Amino acid sequence: MPIISMFYGIIIRLFLLDNKHHNLPHIHAKYGEFEASIGINDGEILAGELPRKQLRLVQAWIELHQDELRADWELAVNGENPYKIDPL
C-alpha cells in the first residue's frame, strides 16, 4: 500500500490490485484514527469516514490531480507501484 502523498496530517495511499473491493478508481485517506476510501472521479466517500475539514482538503487535492490519480490507478490495479503526487 504505497503512500502517494501526505499533507496537513493526511496520508494518501493507493493499494495495489485493489479494483475488486470497490471496483471504482479510489484512494485511501487516513487522518489520525479516521480512514476513508474516496472516489477519484467525484471525491465522494465510498467507505469509512474523515472529519469534514480533512475531507474537503482531500477533495480539493483530488480535483487538482485528476490526471495523475487516474494514471496511478492504472498502475496500481496492474500491480505496479504508483508515482508520488505533490501535496496540497
- Spell out the domain ranges in the chain: 3-77
- Quick one: pLDDT at residue 22? 58
- The amino acid at residue 22 is H
Percentage with pLDDT > 90 across the chain: 84
Per-residue pLDDT, 25: 94
- In this predicted structure, what is the pLDDT of residue 15? 87
pLDDT band at 56 (very low <50, low <70, confident <90, very high): very high
Q: What pLDDT sits at residue 59?
A: 98
Q: What pLDDT shows up at residue 20?
A: 63
Report pLDDT digits (tens) over 10-47.
Answer: 999 998 887 665 578 999 999 999 999 999 999 999 99
Q: Which helix (H) or strand (E) holds 56?
A: helix 52-64
**φ, ψ at 71 (rounded to 5°):** -65, -45
Which uninterrupted H or E stretch holds 67? helix 66-77
